[in-house]
Chains A and B, each alone.
Chain A
Amino acid sequence: MVEKAITGEKRAFMTGNEAVAWAALAAEAEIMYGYPITPQNEIMHYWTRLAPKYGRKFLQTEDEISAGFTTCGGVLAGKRAFTATAGPGNILMQEAMSMAEMLRIPTVVVVQQRGGPSTATVIYSQQETTLTCFGGNGEGLRIVYSTSSHQELFDYTIKAFQIAWKYRFPTFVLGDGYQAKMRESLYLYNPEEKGIPLAEPYPFLGQEGRPGVEREPSHLRNTYNTEEELYQIISRYVEDYERMTPEVVEYQASDFEDAEIVLIAHGIVSRAARAAVKALRSEGLKVGYFRPITLRPFPVGKLREIAPKAKKLIVAESAQGQLFKLVQEALYGETVPLEPYFKPGLGITSEELVEFIMF
């Protein structure tokens, strides 16, 4: 019997990348496939350091195209498999993740966003929002959690496995280089001890019994003969996705009841936004806060409830309008003005948001 990675609850101090590695252990992930890229490297480093101790596996592939497809392969074999990447690696994984959408393969991918386009910086951005939500040559039938702290990296990495396997859509945990490398404390716990269900994997291929005789054959297709055939499949997938949406959509919202301005941000920028709202409220300004946690599916309903009460919405992000587009789409038909605060590839502090709103 292999030792449990985590028993009880323990407060620890670490980087976000390590938090992801521990979360994958806690979620009983069985194998990681990966190819190194900053700023996600320590996810691999810590996984490879910890995996042998807890009977888990790791395969370093020749590139991210392969890491994406081997992750799909691990899942098809019935394993809780995951990978982690960033920037150009995220681009290369899109082909595999597009296949995962088509074959409904519950892959888990952790993305620690770096600067873009191309190699850009190894440090930080929120420029992989569009890519992670809609990177494939399809409809973006995937789930994307945008985290803002080490605790959330831990919580949502565990959750990603469970949600991916439950709904069979590829699931992404979207962090960034700041979260990857910064240090803060978090509680590590065993999800089962807290009553959090773990993913229940099963093989998609190579099951027991003769196909067509003793069991249904596994007929996984990513190729269809006619437009009508494809249309039928995609329509069914879209229907599944829409049925799932109210069950998985997550957000944080506060101070919006009487708010004249609502500050919208996701990921680590939402921490600056929340602190700014607190500071502005203490100055007597009526400012509210909205943060989508799932960027895909987007919490459209809540935003549409909040937005019309405000005189203005401000969207702050470390990208040139990638969250803004999601907000715009969600609010189509509403007349409340949207104001951008874009800093592509650059961090955003609460102080600058306070200044932007006050002056």
Chain B
Amino acid sequence: MIMFYLLCFHYALCIMHCYLRRGVGIKEGQERIVEAYVGEYASGKSEVALNRALNLVRRGRQLVTLVDFDLVEPFYTLRPLQKELEKRGLRVLAWETEKTMGLGEAGTLLKPEIRWALQRAGDVVIDVGYGVAGAGKLALLANVKECLELRVYAVINIARPLTADVVGVVDYVQSLGTVHGVINNSHWGDDTNIRIIQEGAQIVTKAAEVLGLPVIGTTLEQRFAEQIKGNKLMGKPLFFLERQMNRYLW
């Protein structure tokens, strides 16, 4: 009898697990999207990741989780934005200031639910903060090896001196571990012009050739749309960013 109950319990767990893995809220035939954005410190990972997550919500995908996976400054990056993003339909996994009393610089810290982020139903977009450690940090997430949907994208801004040329980008991306594609996010913040975006697309394309990786596209603000013919740069799509991070100092 006990064996029977145990067996039932085991099956129940299996069914639950499959259900979670398939992703509640994703229509039949729709692939679950799991993406991690890595890149140089201040390359624009957070901006790209949160715009991607918002875009998925806008496209009507039911459950989209944005993960602030920053072990070094886990209380700051998305701190001022969290509530606002949740109002816009995103689920945000990040530390809340009021729950981190005294942890201002307690060393590296992983929020427990972030460890299990890949188990969540629906789409998961991970902002791998504080660039130096690279994609290796993803090993801290539970079941990362089994998560076949996971795609890791390197966000490149050629205005960052260490990724300013083809050699720099290649060296940097190779240092990150497993990467599935590169994104040109070249900009100078408020001082951005079309030249840096175009130059970025060229350098990132050449570097991607050397790396044998696909270029996913170029991310840029809508204000540059008219200056680019055919809605493509170097044959790759454009993704328009609604800038959020510039409203905050940290």
Contact = CB atoms under 8 A, between A and B. Distances in A.
Nearest to A123: B250
Given A15-B42, A185-B189, A10 B249 contact: no
Interface in B108-135: 132
Interface string A1-15: 000000000111111
B244 to A, nearest CB: 13
Interface in A8-42: 10-15, 18, 22, 38, 42
Given A10-B161, A15-B41, A45-B132, A181 B249 contact: yes
A184 B246 CA distance: 9
A122 interface: yes
Interface string A118-141: 010111100000000000000000
Chain A, interface size category, equals: 20 to 34
A305 B42 CA distance: 43
Nearest to B162: A49
A182 B159 contact: no
Question: Quick one: which of A14, A45, A181, A188 has the most chain B CB within 10 A?
Answer: A14
A347 interface: yes
B189 A184 contact: yes
A183 interface: yes
A13 B250 contact: no
Interface string A63-98: 000000000000000000000000000000000000
Interface in B178-206: 187-191, 196
B105 A14 contact: no
A49 B188 CA distance: 22
A13 B42 contact: yes
A14 B42 contact: yes
B189 A183 contact: yes
B160 interface: yes
Question: Quick one: which of A121, A178, A182, A188 has the most chain B CB within 10 A?
Answer: A182
Given A181-B250, A184-B190, A13 B105 contact: no
Nearest to A181: B250
Interface of B is mostly: loop
Contacts of B41: 15, 18, 42
Contacts of B136: none
A185 B186 CA distance: 12
Contact of B164 (A10, A45, A347): A10
Contacts of B160: 12-14
Given A42-B41, A181-B249, A11 B188 contact: yes
B104 interface: yes
B155 to A, nearest CB: 13
B157 interface: yes
Interface in A181-197: 181-185, 188
Contacts of B164: 10, 12
A181 B75 CA distance: 14
Contacts of B189: 13, 183-185
Interface in A103-126: 119, 121-124
Contact of B104 (A12, A14, A18, A122): A122
Contacts of A184: 189-191
Contacts of B249: 124, 178, 181-182, 347
A182 B187 contact: no
Contacts of B250: 123, 177-178, 181-182
Contacts of B105: 38, 122
Nearest to A121: B104
A315 to B, nearest CB: 22
Contacts of A45: 132
B42 A188 contact: no
Nearest to A36: B105
B42 A11 contact: no
A177 B105 CA distance: 13
A259 to B, nearest CB: 29
A253 B189 CA distance: 27
Interface in A148-200: 177-178, 181-185, 188
B178 to A, nearest CB: 22
Contact of A12 (B76, B132, B159, B190): B159
Contacts of B42: 13-15, 18, 183
A177 B132 CA distance: 20
27 contacts: A10-B161, A10-B164, A11-B196, A12-B161, A12-B164, A13-B42, A14-B42, A14-B160, A14-B161, A15-B42, A18-B41, A22-B161, A38-B104, A42-B41, A49-B162, A121-B104, A122-B104, A178-B249, A178-B250, A181-B250, A182-B249, A183-B42, A184-B190, A184-B191, A185-B159, A185-B191, A188-B161
> What 6 pairs between A and B have smallest CB-CB spacing?
A13-B159, A185-B188, A185-B191, A178-B249, A183-B42, A122-B104
Interface of A: 10-15, 18, 22, 38, 42, 45, 49, 119, 121-124, 177-178, 181-185, 188, 347
Interface of B: 41-42, 76, 104-105, 132, 157, 159-162, 164, 187-191, 196, 249-250
Given A11-B159, A14-B161, 12 more contacts: A12-B160, A12-B164, A13-B157, A15-B42, A18-B41, A119-B104, A178-B249, A181-B250, A184-B190, A185-B189, A185-B191, A347-B249
